[in-house]
Amino acid sequence: MDITADKQCSTELNKKKQSSRIPSLDIARLLAMLMMVQGHTIYCLLDTNIINSGLWYWNTWTFIRGITAPVFLMVSGAVHIFANKRNEYGKIKKETIKKRFKTCGRLLIIGYLMQFPVSNLFDLPFIDINSWYAFFKVNVLQMFAASISILTILYIVTRKNSTLAIISFILGNIIIFSSPFVLTIKWFDILPIPFASFLSMEHRTIFPIFPFTAYLLIGTTVGYLVQKQPQERRTFYIATRLLIGGIFYILLSYLFKYTFCINLNADSCLSQSPISPVLIIMRVGLAMLAISVAAWICLFFEKLKNPKWWISLENIIGMFSKRALFIYVIHLIVIYGSPISPGIRHFFYQADVFTALYCAFFVIFITMLIVYIYDKTFSKIHFMQFYKYLIVALLIYMLFI
């Protein structure tokens, strides 16, 4: 019995060594998504006067919320290095390119459908300009789709990952340092609403591509550096090098503050808005530190000498990490509802602190359960067909009825 268990454990370890997946990146991405879910749930349910009260713990909570998207994007950029494999000529397979752009298209469609401004398509000609602004505002899904499209184009025009890493690093830093200026331009006076919304926060856009695409691009550089390391040293490399890189960017943010923001009011320089130049730079460093912490956690558990349960846990974390965007979509449906059911916001709007916290745990649990069931059944053909027909039926109901 023990021999059989040892063989199974050895087989799992060999699979792990052959796999290009990095558990520390999975941990960081999943934790970032869960933090985004709890933050969004509490913000949607809680009385906003409490959040904006100026108390230090709410300011801290809001500040931490701002780091979750940079962590998620940086990890996503890193893992794409491993997912987008090149052939002997340095090109990405056409199937991979098509898959990336199809994914981006789906994310755009889902993102816009989730903020559809009217009850059905027939009412679109009668909506006012403010409704169009609300419809085309850019959230995580639209921003991620645009960022992945940009990254995919960079993969197409380059022939080496080293060239890609250099271009991504340079372009990412250009976006970081130019974002405060780009976000002040009146893009809605220059471009059509759908395009202007990606570059401006003027009409409720939360995630403009300046600066958020930068985190994905810098993550791509990180992924290349990690890829160069031997398999057994990658987690340690992430833990140590991103710790150094994170400290460097945080120090750079303070240098930027005291060099360029010395005559500005402290609140405007350190405001909790993506338009703050200091905060944009600091978030890069804090995202690196968060990923480094995830790597240290991974190293700690690996030292416990219990590979069987750790490998099982890694597989579960990897599955949820892979479905991170699905987690994001499902949690919005749980909060706001769907065409066939109300969300919890209908029952707990402007709740007290403890109720909002309980609801956040509930949303996380239900979301993870749905994602787990989906992942375990999606591979079965009859369930796959069921999901497709269900989605089509919901879209028809939402758009035409």
From first CA to last CA, the distance across the chain in angstroms is 60
- pTM for this model (two decimals): 0.87
Q: What is the pLDDT of residue 287?
A: 95
Residue 276: count of CB within 10 angstroms of its CB? 24
Residue length of the chain: 401
Q: What angle do CA 175, 178, 179 make, to 5 degrees?
A: 75
What does the alpha-carbon distance between residue 26 and residue 112 come to, in Å, rounded to a whole number?
A: 27
Of the candidates 373, 304, 311, the residue with the CA atom closest to the CA atom of residue 13: 311
- Enter the tokens of residue 119: 């009850």
Q: What is the pLDDT of residue 385?
A: 63
Range of the domain at 349: 2-400
Q: What is the pLDDT of residue 124?
A: 77
Average pLDDT, consecutive stretches of 10 residues, N- to C-terminus, the chain (401 residues):
46 47 89 91 84 77 88 94 89 91 91 82 81 91 94 94 95 91 91 94 89 95 94 92 95 83 49 69 94 92 72 85 88 82 84 89 93 80 62 59 56
Q: What is the pLDDT of residue 7?
A: 45
Of the candidates 103, 73, 58, 32, the residue with the CA atom closest to the CA atom of residue 222: 73
Q: What is the pLDDT of residue 18?
A: 42
Omega cis (within 30) before 277: no
389 to 104, 186, 267, 341, 394: CA distances (angstroms): 21, 43, 51, 18, 9
What does the alpha-carbon distance between residue 353 and residue 182 come to, in Å, rounded to a whole number?
A: 37
Report whether 177 contacts 37 (CB < 8 A): no
Does residue 197 sit in helix, strand or coil? Answer: coil
> How many domains in the chain?
1
67 to 31, 32, 215, 281, 289: CA distances (angstroms): 11, 8, 11, 11, 10
Q: What is the pLDDT of residue 6?
A: 47
